[in-house]
Structure 1
Amino acid sequence: MPCNTRFGSIPRASLFPPDRQACMKVKTLLAAGAEPLEQTSALPVFPIAETRFGRMFTLQGDSVISRSLRVYGEFAGDEVDSILSLVRVGDHVLDLEANIGFHTLALARTVGPTGHVISVEPQHYCFQLLCANVTANQLTTVNCIRAGVGDVPGTCAVPRHDPVRRHNAGATPVSLEPGAAHPTDTVPLITVDSLALPRCDMIKIDTEGFEDRVALGARRTLATLRPALYIEIHDRDKLQRLHGLLQPLGYSLLLHRTRFFRSANAAGEPVNVFSPNTGGTALIALPPGRSPSGPLPGETRSLG
């Protein structure tokens, strides 16, 4: 049975019906003020979440993104809306890194059948669920790549988390030192420029500390294809390096702050399971002639 959203009719994938009993148990715990992640034994390894952009497999033990998808049907909704304001029907976009694919689904629904999304994710289970979620939602315009992204091609090490043990999959950095954490997987390290894209309209970069390296590895793409950028910011030094790289290329820069929870979430859940001010800071970089399609939620400050 199709699910009608403002992005059109989304086909229900019969291959994974939701575990409604487990979902109801999570909601009951939440309503009682309990911490639902402490009750993960009630969930399968890859619980199903009904999200704003389609039904998704999630990671049982992930304490942030997957948890938010199960409780709210979305993660960082204001951030996602801001990213989508930089995207148009038919655009070609990059999702770096994609986690289990919530942003990827949002981007694919927005660019539509004439657009294209390349989603890159280095983690083992996140990549498996990214591919599963793209396939189960019948998205034929998404290409998934298992790799890290940096400034030079090579290899990198990425931790492999137990999917049922508590962890934050969205805060898992890659390392250039093999075996820096145990257990780890060795995966390719690619650059944006190495993709040799004929077109690129927007790049979302959330690579856990590698954001400035990703931008360095995209210099040719930035200079020739002029994509808009939405870049997660972790510290002032990386912000300064990105500012020094992007401003000479003619980009206008905005600092953008959003919170993970919003009361107008997809599930209508009023309880904030995160700390009140928990959220993210990003650098929005706009080439000449580009601007968001509407007002940005959250807090915005111009950096020139």
Structure 2
Amino acid sequence: MEYLLDQVKGRHGLFKFISNDEHMGTALRKYGEFSEIELSIIKKFIKPGDYVFDIGANIGLLTVPFAKIVGNNGKVFSFEPQLFVYDVLNKNIELNNFINVETFHNGVGSRKTQIMIDEMDFSKLGNFGGFTLSDKYKNSDCGTIKYENKNMVNILKLDDFLNLPKCNFIKVDVELMEIDVLKGGEKLLKKFKPILWLENHQSYPNDLNEYLLQRDYTPYWCATRLFNPDNFNLDNQNVFNNMTTLNTLAIHKSYEIDIDCVSMGITKVTNKYTPVEIARIKVL
């Protein structure tokens, strides 16, 4: 289905992308990048030689810069359950000549199982990064579903990777299944205490923060705009208006890391997700 794809040379290399993706596709075509402000924060916590997990990798817009940072002494493990999207992920890794990335056509959850998942119609406009395996959310909200097609996908657990020599950083963007992913990695989190970067959906933010606090992680809010004024193509037209992404950065209390919240623009979680707490969150 190559006819459904476009290609650009962007800030982080060559990327194929789904032409009808209204967020990632639009951003790559217009700006040559996607969520660059978010990535600029993440990059402060990844270093050469690290082992990094990209769960909910989509087409690899974070996998590729992660692979560049960790270098040949590090490794990136990327997971994407949608088969067509997974194929594009692999194309982008190949286009950029990375040999330090291992990809998985799998979901990640609280237990090993098999599930049937929706197949999106990529010939029609959609927000394909909003696809979810969660029953709390309808994939019809992010695009057109091919109801006659269902695909089987295996769900793995983070604890399946306990034999790795290290795990330094885990990014999770799985549309309301972030806690499920962490529950399937209790042993891995306890063993390696990786830094976590988790999409924190505004419908259930306190559940995730409570979970982290109970496991000796210190959570920080990080809200970033999709539009980067200093984008790769120097295009000053903001098609995303004030659209933002809310994430939680979580660092285990055993780490001796000095977090300068002011300079980084992040906000330590001090309270429930209340109007007072929301007002404290700086949007980058």
Compute the TM-score of the two structures, normalised by the length of structure 1.
0.79
Q: Deviations over 1:165-199 (max 9, x none)?
A: 1011100111469xx96233110111111222331
Q: Is 1:227 aligned with 2:194?
A: yes
Letter in 1 for 2:231: N
Aligned counterparts, 1:82-231, within 5 A: 82-175=41-134, 182=147, 183-196=149-162, 197-231=164-198
Letter in 1 for 2:110: D
* Whole-angstrom distance in 2 between the partners of 1:250 and 1:76: 29
Q: 1:296 to 1:156 in 2, by over 3 A?
A: farther
* Whole-angstrom distance in 1 between the partners of 2:258 and 2:116: 36
% identical aligned pairs: 27
Q: Deviations over 1:258-294 (max 9, x none)?
A: 01001101111111111x2102000100123254888
* Whole-angstrom distance in 2 between the partners of 1:67 and 1:203: 26
Aligned counterparts, 1:4-19, within 5 A: none
* Aligned equivalent of 1:56, options 4, 15, 19: 15
Gaps of 5+ in 1: 1-42
Gaps of 5+ in 2: 140-144, 271-284
Contact 2:226 2:243 in 1 (8 A): yes
* Aligned equivalent of 1:282, options 247, 256, 265: 247
* Whole-angstrom distance in 1 between the partners of 2:27 and 2:230: 14
Contact 2:51 2:70 in 1 (8 A): yes
Q: How large is the RMSD of aligned CA atoms in angstroms?
A: 2.3
Shift of 1:124: 1.7
Letter in 2 for 1:248: Q
Q: 1:150 to 1:292 in 2, by over 3 A?
A: farther
Contact 1:93 1:116 in 2 (8 A): yes
**Number of aligned residue pairs:** 258
Q: Which residue of 1 aligns with 2:282?
A: none
Runs (4 or more) in structure 1 with deviation over 4 Å come to 292-299
Q: Which residue of 1 aligns with 2:281?
A: none
Contact 1:78 1:297 in 2 (8 A): no
* Whole-angstrom distance in 1 between the partners of 2:62 and 2:8: 14
Structure 1 residue matching 2:5: 3-state secondary structure: coil
* Whole-angstrom distance in 2 between the partners of 1:217 and 1:241: 16
Once the two structures are overlaid, the 10-residue window that deviates more, 77-86 or 188-197, is: 188-197
* Whole-angstrom distance in 1 between the partners of 2:152 and 2:224: 33
Q: Which residue of 2 aligns with 1:10?
A: none
Shift of 1:248: 3.0
* Whole-angstrom distance in 2 between the partners of 1:260 and 1:191: 30
* Whole-angstrom distance in 2 between the partners of 1:294 and 1:52: 27
Q: Is 1:73 aligned with 2:39?
A: no
